[in-house]
Amino acid sequence: MSIRPASRGLAEALGSSSARRVRPVPQRSSLPVAGPSIPRRHASKDAKPNNVVTKERFNFNTSLNFTDELDPDHVNYRRVSASEIANRREPPTRVKMLVRDFIDDSLYNEHYGYFSRNATIFTPPSEGYDFGSFRDAAHFQETVAERYEAEYGNMELESAEEGAEGKAKVQAKGGLGRQVWHTPTELFKPYYARTLIKPILQTYKLNHFPYQDLIIYEVGAGNGSFMIDSLKYIRDEHPDVFARTKYRIIEISPALAKIQRARAEAEGFGERVEVINEDVMRWRGGGVEPCFVVALEVFDNFAHDMIRYDIRTLEPLQGIVSIDRSGDFSLLYEPLTDPLLRRVLAYRRLLPPSPLTAPTLPSPLLRSPLLRSLYTSMPFAPNLSAPDWIPTKATHFLERLRDRLPNHRLMVADFDSLPEAVEGRSGPVVQTRYGGSMVPCETFLVKQGYFDIFFPTDFELLRDTYSLIMNSPSIPSPNSPSASTSPLPTRKISPSRQSAPATTRDAQPHPLTAALSSTPPQLSSDFFSPHPGTGVRGFRRRQVSIHTHAEFMMKYGPEEVGMTRTGDGEGVMLGMYKNAKMMF
């Protein structure tokens, strides 16, 4: 969560990572025949079956290969989560896990995960670029590409291999190499950070100064550039605020946490900065003081779950990745049982109906059960919808903010669309760097640790879900991840602000209780209003707003935009990252 991928368009513009589309081996499949108690299957990747299985064990697959066989012993595979295999030094076999756990393990395992092996953040000159010295945007991009090639072009990748040879080194130009990310914080330093810190300072001065400290939490701070540039600006332009500033970083990567501490000390900010080397999903700190939470290019690497809907019944089915003894993958489908996934879908049912929350089917099929029945009876017709990628980890992160930092204000910057994504609604981009080029893939079932997997963020859905969560109390259930890691006290509140006797009010169920049932609930007219005494501020108080990247830059940093104009007057900070948005 601390490494931030740049947009695909930027990668192409920088020349050194030109796009080259490579199609993987066609996915395997079988005819759509399955009983109700048999997992749905969507296989992907060449496999060498060791046993013969009847075709009835298989379900529909979108590829054109009908020869794959699933290991019949998959029902006995151990069910694991990413946290349970976090200490493994090599990818597991003969296991099953949720899609989000597979993605988490592929990205963040400290021994073979992608970010621990193959990713580096691009760093410009320490003083930043003199944008006025460039003829135009193309000249700037060429300069960045030259630095990229000079600094990282021959970077070597160390890969642990068993045997007498020990460790083998593979030159990046000849094989898989480290991928270097370009982030706006680095490319446009210090102007990007200054633009983002300005609305935080405005809000702080308007509501909290001089009686309360300015407390900033940054999740996944990368090289620490946003922290350094922001604190320099506060120190130089607002010394009275700087005296009351506390900057806290929550960083999952030990290597990056070490870099952040060193940079803070070197710049003289050691007393102002605290680096917390923990996974934000397991962090047990927090407090009730007003604070600001900054998440820049963090949501795109939050793992998602994948569900598909039974076309005939519209029942959602959760995706399960099965890994056989050879390390090959199969995708199974089973009824929804995961508590977090069920809770995320329950939040959706509490939101107003929209195409963002409906099953991934054409509207005629959604409206007519008869038409769905006829459609699924056609030869070779699919019995499952297109994939729907559910931001379960992102939603859990919002729940954690509600529980750990109930009086926070959130700033998010990320990509709202990505080209060359995997099939499905809000599908991820899966890519790696090979032979000096970026290679996109058409499936997420790829070798763990060799590919980056990142998602677009639906900001409108994020805003609505965030508002709903901030208005909901915690669920004190032992099966709830947020409840199990949240000792902060919570109060049971009624969805309505109407006065009532305490016994009646306490007897009302949590808003999610009805949503977890099969019948969509009805909300009271004032459900989105703040509830007094809960310690949680709601949608109306937070004034959640969404801007495109360019809109945000012009609204809060017109001076900084002027400083990033090239010789021909073009503003490169406005022209790049057109597929990014901001929420504050």
Instruction: Give the span between the Cα atoms of 222 and 130, in whole angstroms.
Output: 23
Residue where the block lists tokens 């109306």: 540
For the chain, the average pLDDT equals 77
pLDDT of residue 438: 81
Task: Give the strand pairing for 119-121 and 179-181.
Answer: parallel
> Which residues are registered as beta bridge partners of 390?
305
pLDDT band at 122 (very low <50, low <70, confident <90, very high): confident
Residue given tokens 């499905």 in the structure block: 424
pLDDT at 274: 98
Out of 167-176, 307-316, 346-355, which region has the weakest mean confidence (pLDDT)? 167-176
Which has more pLDDT, 232 or 56? Answer: 232
Q: Is the dihedral of CA 511, 512, 514, 518 positive or negative?
A: positive
Q: Coil, strand or helix: which one is 251?
A: coil
- pLDDT given at position 531: 38
The pair of three-digit structure tokens given for residue 226, joined into one six-digit string: 């946003």
C-beta of residue 311 within 8 angstroms of C-beta of residue 361: yes
State residue 68's pLDDT score: 60
> What region does 163 belong to: left with phi over 0, alpha with psi -120 to 50, or beta?
left
DSSP 278: S
Report whether pLDDT(479) > 60: no
| Separation between Cα atoms, residue 308 and residue 334, nearest integer Å | 10
The answer to whether residue 33 scores a pLDDT higher than 80 is no
Q: Which of 250-264, 312-326, 366-380, 483-497 has the lowest mean pLDDT?
A: 483-497
Mean predicted confidence (pLDDT) in 539-553: 80
pTM of the model: 0.78
pLDDT at position 508, please?
Answer: 46
pLDDT of the residue at 432: 87
Position 378 scores a pLDDT of: 92
pLDDT top residue among 209 and 7: 209
How many Å apart are CA 101 and CA 2, to the nearest integer? 18
Tell me, what's the pLDDT at 528?
Answer: 37
Tell me what the mean pLDDT of segment 148-166 comes to.
49
Interval 213-264: pLDDT, tens: 999 999 999 999 999 999 999 999 999 999 999 999 999 888 899 999 999 9
Report pLDDT digits (tens) over 391-409. 999 999 999 999 999 999 9
> Does the pLDDT at position 521 exceed 60?
no
pLDDT at 575 over 50: yes
Mean pLDDT of 326-354: 93
Whether residue 290 is predicted with pLDDT greater than 90 in this model: the reply is yes
- pLDDT attached to residue 307: 98
pLDDT for residue 485: 39
Q: Is the pLDDT of residue 2 over 70?
A: no
Confidence at residue 178, expressed as pLDDT on a 0 to 100 scale: 53
Q: Is the pLDDT of residue 52 over 80?
A: no
Torsion of CA 169, 173, 174, 175, to 10 degrees: 70
Question: What are the pLDDT digits (tens) for 424-446?
Answer: 999 999 998 777 678 899 999 99
Strands 167-171 and 156-160: antiparallel
- Residue 340: phi and psi, rounded to 5, are -65, -45
Question: Are 537 and 530 in contact, with CB atoms under 8 Å apart?
Answer: yes
Q: What is the pLDDT of residue 481?
A: 38
Nearest to 73 by CA among 49, 56, 92, 90: 49
Question: Is the pLDDT confidence value at 36 over 60?
Answer: no
* Distance (Å, whole) CA 354 – CA 349: 10
DSSP symbols for 325-365: TTS-EEEEEEE---HHHHHHHHHHHHSPP-TTTS-SS-HHH
The confidence score (pLDDT) of residue 498 equals 33
Query: At residue 471, does pLDDT exceed 80?
Result: yes
Mean pLDDT, residues 319-337 taken together: 94
Encode pLDDT of 488-513 as tens digits: 333 332 333 333 333 333 344 555 65
